Amino acid sequence: MIEMYVKEFTSIVNTLIRNEKGLNKRDFLYIEREELDVLLNKNAYETPENKLKNWRNLWWIHADEGHLTCKIMVKNKRIRMVKISLSVHECLLQLLPRPQSHLQNEKSEQIKTTAPPTAPPAQKVLNQMPRPQSQSQSEKPKFAVPTFQSQRE
């Protein structure tokens, strides 16, 4: 379920940025609630209000207490808008898995550009490793071994 929320959030924010909707200030994108509800209604697995509540609970949007919007000043007027965190958006984009077609292209390019590493045979590696020196039984260990006595005795 969280993956659906992540994909929808990132695609909506991408759409808003691409279409230059809302106000883009610093690390936030401000959008009118009604305009955002239209986009949230396209995927009807939840109501827009529930989606925004979950976004708020995940800190993807910032809102005043008891609201899903923030009051902001626009042209000397206080209006309520949804305040979307662009830093969260960037982070989620990094976490989303890339489509398979991109991964296959990268793998084929890696195969073309880099030769596979050749590993030495396992026995050769084992022969090169230092061997532990055997201790005689008369030698004491170099560290103290704690001894515990039973309380029953």
Per-residue pLDDT tens digits for 69-82: 999 988 899 999 99
Q: Is the pLDDT at 3 greater than 50, yes or no?
A: yes
Which among 4, 59, 68 is positioned nearest to 33, based on CA atoms? Answer: 68
Cα 145 to Cα 37: distance, rounded to the nearest angstrom? 69
Across the chain, mean pLDDT equals 78
In this structure, are residues 9 and 82 in contact, taking their beta carbons and an 8 Å threshold? no
Q: Is the pLDDT at 104 greater than 90, yes or no?
A: no
Question: pTM surpassing 0.85?
Answer: no
Which among 65, 58, 70 is positioned nearest to 28, based on CA atoms? Answer: 70
Domain ranges of the chain: 2-97
